Amino acid sequence: MTKQSYLNICEKIAPFIHRTPVMSSQLINDIAGCEVFFKCENFQKMGAFKMRGATNAILNLSEEQRAKGVVTHSSGNFAQALSLAARSLGVTAYIVMPSSAPQVKIDAVKGYGGIVSICPPTLKDREESAKAIENEKGASFLHPSNDDDVIHGQGTAAIELLEDYPNLNAIFTPVGGGGLLGGTALAASLFAPDCNVYAGEPEEADDAYRSLKSGKIETNDSANTIADGLKTQLGDRNFPIIQEHVKEIFLVSEEEILEALKLIWTRMKIIVEPSSAVAFAALLKNKEALKNQKVGIIISGGNVDLDNLPF
């Protein structure tokens, strides 16, 4: 990947996504002890950064592949992103969702034009159901986070942030499946090699933290966290990027996530989902190390279940 090829991706997906705003708050800066710049992907189409990767992945398919559709398994934002991106590009999207997925998310995917199949709530069932559709329809499988085109698409948020604020000392993202973190780290390494990339991760779902320590992809036996978008694990495409280009992954408690979430809602006056607050929580926990620096935070999304708020 070169700077020019990444700029080409930005140009290619631009007609299908929003260039999201970067917001700041003097009060937040005072609390954090540094200048904080929030890249607000909660204002992205369908409410999350995943619109970027889904769009790039579909655009990189051949006309013949697009004619047969795309398929993924997802219970959340990627299901919505792929459905909307596919509709924008005239492509059929088949979405496998677990029976445990909230009805509001299933309805959202259908609203964006996705053809939903419900399966038992295990990874094995999700993968087998997606494979069956792939075989029957000839659809191209797109993984929510462990796909090169998806990873590169997610990195365009960091490129936009660095275009607006080229002198950042650090960028924080949350980490779950690793697509956003991998894309951000790769983009920063090309466009701002002196900018350190960090991630926040819930203590209750610390597989990425342990993976970086052990040098191999770890899994979680359970993941009891309010940051429900971060319950997935790293993949073999994004993990090597994270190993090479991510400075550190910081763990945060459920209380720290909740406190960061409240600060963003009440001080920034923007609605973000708990997963988005994890990156800010990680900054607050380590603010002494980043004192007086310029820090970017990628707000990953704002798709909140208003009937099930954590506070």
Supply the pLDDT for residue 105: 84
254 pLDDT tier (thresholds 50, 70, 90): very high
257 pLDDT tier (thresholds 50, 70, 90): very high
When the pLDDT of each residue in the chain is averaged and rounded to a whole number, the result is 95
Supply the pLDDT for residue 294: 98
Q: What is the number of alpha carbons within 13 Å of residue 181 lying toward its C-beta?
A: 38
Supply the pLDDT for residue 306: 82
Q: What is the number of alpha carbons within 13 Å of residue 11 lying toward its C-beta?
A: 6
Supply the pLDDT for residue 121: 85
pLDDT average, residue stretch 111-135: 94
Supply the pLDDT for residue 142: 97
Cα(140)–Cα(214) distance, integer angstroms: 33
Q: How far is CA 310 from CA 12, 202, 307, in A?
A: 38, 15, 10
pLDDT average, residue stretch 198-204: 97
DSSP 156-168: HHHHHHHHH-TT-
Supply the pLDDT for residue 53: 98
Cα(85)–Cα(77) distance, integer angstroms: 12
List all residues 6 or more positions away from 163 whose beta carbon is below 8 Å from its beta carbon: none
What CA dihedral angle connects 256, 283, 268 and 41, to 10 degrees? -100
Supply the pLDDT for residue 76: 81
List, for residues 221-241, the tens digit of each pLDDT value. Answer: 877 899 988 888 999 999 999
DSSP the chain: --HHHHHHHHHHHGGGS----EE--HHHHHHHTSEEEEEEGGGSGGGBTHHHHHHHHHHTS-HHHHHH-EEEE-SSHHHHHHHHHHHHTT--EEEEEETTS-HHHHHHHHHTT-EEEEE-SSHHHHHHHHHHHHHHH-PEE--SSS-HHHHHHHTHHHHHHHHH-TT-SEEEEE-SSSHHHHHHHHHHHHH-TTSEEEEEEEGGG-HHHHHHHHSS----S----S-GGG-S---TTTHHHHHHH--EEEEE-HHHHHHHHHHIIIII-----HHHHHHHHHHHHTGGGGTT-EEEEEE-B----TTS---
Lowest mean pLDDT among 7-21, 133-147, 168-182, 221-235: 221-235
Closest Cα to residue 202, out of 305, 303, 285? Answer: 285
The answer to whether residue 194 scores a pLDDT higher than 90 is yes
Supply the pLDDT for residue 58: 98
pTM: predicted TM-score of the whole model, two decimal places: 0.95
Please state the length of the chain: 311
Please, are residues 27 and 177 in contact by the beta-carbon 8 Å criterion? no
Please, are residues 271 and 282 in contact by the beta-carbon 8 Å criterion? no
Supply the pLDDT for residue 5: 95
Supply the pLDDT for residue 228: 84
How many percent of the chain have pLDDT more than 70? 100
List, for residues 272-297, the tens digit of each pLDDT value. Answer: 999 999 999 999 999 999 999 999 99
Supply the pLDDT for residue 308: 81
Spell out the domains of the chain, with CATH numbers in brackets.
Answer: 3-48+149-299 (3.40.50.1100), 51-147 (3.40.50.1100)
Supply the pLDDT for residue 1: 87
Task: Give the pairing of strands 294-299 and 196-202.
Answer: unpaired
pLDDT average, residue stretch 174-203: 97
Please, are residues 38 and 107 in contact by the beta-carbon 8 Å criterion? no
